[in-house]
Amino acid sequence: MTHKGLMEIAIAYFAGLLTLINPCVLPVLLIVLATALQAKKWGPLALAAGMNVMFIMLGIGIPAFGPALGINDQVVAHFFELGQL
């Protein structure tokens, strides 16, 4: 993998982490973390690991299998245009 590819992965990962602190997600995340901590001592760590795995799976899976499902740049752009109506 090239240096540019690694940098893109790092930027995408940190962008995903930033989505966790947006005003809509942060209060819910705190409740989920508190619940995980009450369930088990390692609950928050397991929750964080699970979220990381899902971010990675989606980040690799959608570009890999998206074209087979008919998902391309135009479909994604159209989806976000609909969301801004």
pLDDT digits (tens, 9 = 90+) for 75-84: 878 877 876 6
As a whole number of Å, the CA-based R_g of the chain is: 16
Single out the residue of 43, 57, 54, 68 nearest to residue 20, CA to CA.
54
Residues 29-55 pLDDT 10s: 778 888 888 888 888 888 888 888 888
Q: Given the structure tokens 């982490």, which residue do they identify?
A: 17
Task: Show contacts of 4-12: CB within 8 Å, 24+ apart.
Answer: 12/59
What pLDDT does residue 44 have?
85
